A and B are shown apart, each in its own frame.
Chain A
Amino acid sequence: MRRRAVAPAVSSAVRQAVSVALATGLYGVSFGALSVVAGLDVWQTMALSLVMFSGGSQFAFIGVAGSGGSPGAAIATAALVGLRNALYGPQVAPLIEVTGPRRLLAAQLTIDESTAVGTAQRDPAAARAGFWWTGAGVFLLWNAFTLVGALVGDSAGDPRRYGLDAAAAAAFLALVWPRLSNRTAQAVAGAAVVVALSTTPVLPSGVPVLLAAAVAVLVGVLWRSRPAAAVTDAVASHQSEGASVRRVEEPGS
């Protein structure tokens, strides 16, 4: 009896996981191609997808590196874009309850998509299945498609001729798009653009982007009169994505 009650929820979670993994893995192609165009070789590109394994951070790293930024600026930008992953741990850990080395594996697979699918399940077994299947599925496909993209990008020639510099900008736009659901986020986005463009002529490459992050910290700390609007929206949008899976093409990793 009990198994019958649990199994449909688990298989539904696995189905969600597979469709999320396919949609997310596929845009590994664009990461692989743009990374090679930004000046990384195929191995460095694969190292980012295997070790960093967080789309937003990876795009940020190649964006700063490709525009001539310093190693420090590239590392800091990638780490800051990945900060939100630290907030997923407290949501995921109670669902999966692992200890020892498997905790390291769970941490590496803790990204937007696996957190969204895992936390969207009501049944505990389905939550575990959702997290692990999504995490492992995205990892496999993201890395496979990164390799495809890197090999394609390697043979592309002059990136500007194919509009690949604009493609990189569009990738960032697609990553930020689902996070602009409230006024505070929109205001911060606008301020970030102004700060980045106005300081580009006077600061070393990569620094204007970090300066824009400082603006966000200021707004986040000072703007206490609007409690938690930005966050609950961000978390809710991820969770609803996971729940219905229809919008997972909007990546967030």
Chain B
Amino acid sequence: MKGAVLWLAVVAAGVATFAIKLVGHLLPRHWLAKPQVARVAALVTVALLSALVAVQAATRGGHVVLDSRLAGLGAAAVALVAKAPFVVVVLVAAVVTALLRWAGLP
């Protein structure tokens, strides 16, 4: 995606996300306040974010590629266990990965 197509996608996704928020305010309460609806929505979020972790950490150009990113991700997991704030978790992953690449690893 580039240029106008990317802009269009940014705007469309923004409008879609806003519409989803608005629906929650406009629909009768009992429509959305069902346990099953809430459960599916919670699991969809978990699945999408988990899949994005995997794709971002272990694929490149349509292939599964295992490299220094995994070590960075492992370090981020340790930071999460230690209850580090978000920014620290992200920085730890970047620093560990950058150091390994600086040392010559892929």
A172 and B49 within 8 A (CB): yes
With beta carbons under 8 angstroms apart, the residue of A75, A184, A200 that contacts B43 is: A184
The answer to whether the Cβ of A40 comes within 8 Å of any Cβ in the partner chain is yes
Q: Shortest beta-carbon distance, B93 to chain A, in Å? A: 3
The count of residues in chain B whose C-beta lies closer than 8 Å to any C-beta of chain A is 80
B56 adjacent to A177 (CB under 8 Å)? no
What A residues does B77 contact at CB under 8 A?
173
What is the predominant secondary structure among interface residues of chain B facing chain A? Answer: helix
Q: For residue A231, which residues in chain B have a CB less than 8 angstroms away from its CB?
A: 35, 38-39, 41-42
A179 nearest in chain B by CB position? B46
**Which of A86, A110, A179, A215 contacts B32, CB < 8 Å?**
A86
Q: Judging by beta carbons under 8 Å apart, are A161 and B101 in contact?
A: yes
Contacts of A52 on B, CB cut-off 8 Å?
13-14, 17-18
Closest 6 CB pairs of A and B: A89-B24, A163-B97, A166-B72, A51-B14, A170-B93, A220-B40
Can you report 12 residue pairs joining A to B where beta carbons are below 8 Å apart? Answer: A54-B17, A79-B13, A82-B20, A85-B21, A163-B96, A169-B69, A169-B93, A171-B89, A176-B53, A209-B48, A228-B39, A230-B39
Q: B interface vs A, CB < 8 Å?
A: 1-2, 5-18, 20-27, 29, 32-33, 35-59, 61-64, 68-69, 72-73, 76-77, 80, 83-87, 89-99, 101
Residues of A in contact with B (beta carbons under 8 Å apart): 23, 26-27, 29-30, 39-40, 44, 47-48, 51-54, 56-57, 59-61, 63-65, 67-71, 74-75, 77-90, 92-94, 103-104, 106-108, 110, 160-177, 179-180, 184-185, 188-193, 195-197, 200-201, 205, 208-213, 215-217, 219-221, 224, 227-232, 234-235, 247, 249-251
